[in-house]
Amino acid sequence: MPYPTFARAVLGAIVILLLQLAPAQAQFSLFVATSGADADTCFSPATACRTLQRALDAAPAGSKIIVLDSDSFGFVTINKSIAIAATGVHANVFGSSATQITINAGPNDAVYLEGLAMGRTVLSGANSGIEFNSGGKLHVRNCVIRNFGTAGIDIRGAGSKQVFISDCTIANNRHGILARPGNGNALVFLDRVTVEGNLRDGVRSQGSGATVRLNNSTITHNGTGLARMNGGRLISFGNNAIRDNDTDGAPTATQPLR
């Protein structure tokens, strides 16, 4: 039996990402830890850095940054292909009132984020958990993003982007997920994502270059669940829970898994 269209797309994207990162990861892993120091090299657990930004600055493109324990590791601006992974720990990305992860990467770069927590005590500021300005692909898995004054994830800027969000909770922001590429193109996949309690739009697809596909996700208790503007597309696979929003909204199309 062939894979469903959505599953095949996600699987293909993951395979491509692994092919892109695997050679570099075999040579370069960097580490951050509460016991680390930014004067260190980051290239072993014994010489771990203290902040993600220091590890990112030290990392060759295509490297993997591993978070070793639970704490806050500062906000970070990403300008290259990189993987940041926190498995089995509570890694908080936090710094002042700024956007926590800003991605200004090249058109062929791939960024992979796993197991990170981004959040403030209360909703405040003109900031986002993740602001994806430029880059080729962004993968966000098993992350919690909450209480940002602009959006949990803000996808914007010219160029073509692909974004894969899975097993995440995006809650209590002004907007949950904003796909607004302007004159560019953004193809966004949501798989097993919970978008809840956002003040305005849970998921917004804005502009003719924006397409958001939703699979097995829950969109609830937002101002508007699904919102589209200026020709944006919202495509459901018919297995999402979109309910109990002030205004639920509706997908522009429904495509069965097959």
Query: Rounded to whole angstroms, how far apart are CA atoms 235 and 250?
Result: 9
User: How many domains are contained in the chain?
Assistant: 1
On whether the CB atoms of residues 165 and 140 are closer than 8 A, the answer is yes
- The pLDDT score that the predictor gives to residue 10 is 47
Mean pLDDT calculated for residue range 182-186: 95
Query: Rounded to whole angstroms, how far apart are CA atoms 226 and 208?
Result: 16
- The pLDDT score that the predictor gives to residue 128 is 95
- CB neighbours of 79 closer than 8 A, spacing ≥ 6? 104, 105, 106
Query: Rounded to whole angstroms, how far apart are CA atoms 71 and 141?
Result: 19
Query: Rounded to whole angstroms, how far apart are CA atoms 57 and 60?
Result: 8
CA dihedral 52, 53, 54, 55 (to 10 degrees): 50
Query: Rounded to whole angstroms, how far apart are CA atoms 198 and 175?
Result: 6
**Could you read off the pLDDT of 217-234 as tens digits, one per residue?**
999 999 999 999 999 999
CATH number at residue 170: 2.160.20
**CA dihedral over 127, 128, 130, 132, signed as positive or negative:** negative
- The pLDDT score that the predictor gives to residue 111 is 98
- The pLDDT score that the predictor gives to residue 182 is 92
Which DSSP string corresponds to 20-74?
Answer: HHHHHHHH-EEEE-TT--TTS--SSGGG-BSSHHHHHHHPPTTEEEEE-SSEE--
- The pLDDT score that the predictor gives to residue 58 is 97
Mean pLDDT calculated for residue range 188-208: 98
Tokens of 224: 């508007």
- The pLDDT score that the predictor gives to residue 26 is 42
Q: Up-side HSE of residue 114: CA atoms within 13 Å toward CB?
A: 12
**Could you read off the pLDDT of 148-182 as tens digits, one per residue?**
999 999 999 999 999 999 999 999 999 999 999 99
Predicted confidence band of residue 5 (pLDDT cuts 50, 70, 90) = low
Mean pLDDT calculated for residue range 78-85: 98
Predicted confidence band of residue 98 (pLDDT cuts 50, 70, 90) = confident
Question: Range with the lowest mean pLDDT among 6-10, 40-44, 89-93?
Answer: 6-10
Query: Rounded to whole angstroms, how far apart are CA atoms 206 and 217?
Result: 20
Record the pTM: 0.89
Per the structure, the complete domain to which residue 34 belongs is given by 5-254
